[in-house]
Amino acid sequence: MPDPTVILAVDHLVKSFRIHHQKSNSLKQLIAGRGRNRYDDFLAVDDVTFDVHEGEVFGIIGQNGSGKSTLLKCMAGILQPNAGSVRVTRRMGALLELGAGFHPELSGRENVYLNAAILGMGRKEIALRFDEIVDFSGLHAFIDQPAKTYSSGMYVRLAFAVAINVDPQLLIVDEILAVGDVSFQRRCLEKFVEFRNEGRTIVLVTHDLGSVKSLCDRAIWLERGKAIDEGDPSDLVEAYTERMLGAEAPAADGSVRRGSGEIRITKVEMFVNGSAFAVKRCRTNDDVLLRLYYQAEKTMPQPVVGIEIQSLGGATVTAPNTRDVGMVPPTMWGSGAIDVSLSNVALLPGTYDIHTTVTDFNRALIYDHLREALRFDVMTGKPYETDGVVTMRPEWKLS
């Protein structure tokens, strides 16, 4: 008897495509070359099996060409598998590629009705939700303009607004949210959290490994069409990163570096309470400035710089990056420094490591990932707490 909590079941799915070595440009060439037009069968998805349970956020990771998008199209019914099956037991909304289902000559308004109808909504239901769709997209001024005049970001906003308003119990998303701006990405993230809190299910394909770790309950790793691992997202992302980039031998200071190397963080220094001298210790409640020195071998567009502060015991305290706050430069080249100001540091006494990361805007390509870029100690300050990792600065009142 099927598990009632499983709302998406992929069972031994196989999808292949025929790749011709020589293309016939005319009927004469086709007839004359009969029997000599060679082709290969390319296995895009090779015997993949997994279940997604109700209320889960399920991630799919892998390199370009690993079969992720093909798998999602089979799940959405756009492609028919050569073998195996997909069983879906709830209403599904899908965001599979930019502008899919949009007609460039139709207006945004007309495309809303067209897209929603494709996703299974009736005309009356669409009319009831139309204002909500436009409000979320933020395209009030452009809704009656032809879709061909829209930017890629406008396409994404309108397509996402439609998909989430068909009231899906299962939402399938393929990478396209990386096109949106920072404020739109934040709204999408809030919507994902809202959906999860409502018990809806999300299947997410993305190169943004940070999102996989923070959003997903489980994940699967595809490589050359095969599922080579499945399980906890953090463990999977760590293994995937190790495989894709490889780890260099530890340096004398204990740091370990990975990445393609176009941009590198060469040094990290810490300054406390406005001092001009770099130190490796501070106190709880101090004002701390972290200075990240970088070297870019060539001009790189829209790099994202991030830090992670981790306790010596392994717990991540915080992991901000420049994309989260809309501080992504158009380009980066040459050498320079990036300052990160941390006011009234809430860390409690202990030893901490700072790791740094530089990626492309979509956080798909890792230019540099430096573990243990700086190890520092926190001494007792105000408040005088000692247990835990951070202080919540409690105010006590006795009556």
Structure confidence at residue 166 as a pLDDT band (50, 70, 90): confident
* Mean residue pLDDT across the chain: 85
Whole-angstrom Cα distance, residue 80 to residue 72? 11
Q: Strand order of the sheet with strand 201-205?
A: 92-95, 170-174, 201-205, 57-61, 218-223, 226-231
Report residue 198: phi and psi, to 5°.
-85, 0
> Can you count the helices (H) and strands (E) in the chain?
8, 18
Higher pLDDT, 188 or 224: 224
Q: What is the pLDDT of residue 180?
A: 60
Q: What is the pLDDT of residue 93?
A: 74
pTM, 2 dp:
0.66
pLDDT of 315-342, one tens digit each?
889 999 999 888 999 999 999 999 999 9
Report residue 386: phi and psi, to 5°.
-130, -25
Please report the domains of the chain, with CATH numbers, ordered by start residue. Answer: 6-243 (3.40.50.300), 248-379 (2.70.50.60)
Higher pLDDT, 274 or 102: 274
Q: What is the pLDDT of residue 191?
A: 79
**pLDDT over threshold 90, residue 285:** yes
Whole-angstrom Cα distance, residue 65 to residue 51? 22
pLDDT of 233-247, one tens digit each?
888 888 887 777 665
Higher pLDDT, 188 or 2: 188
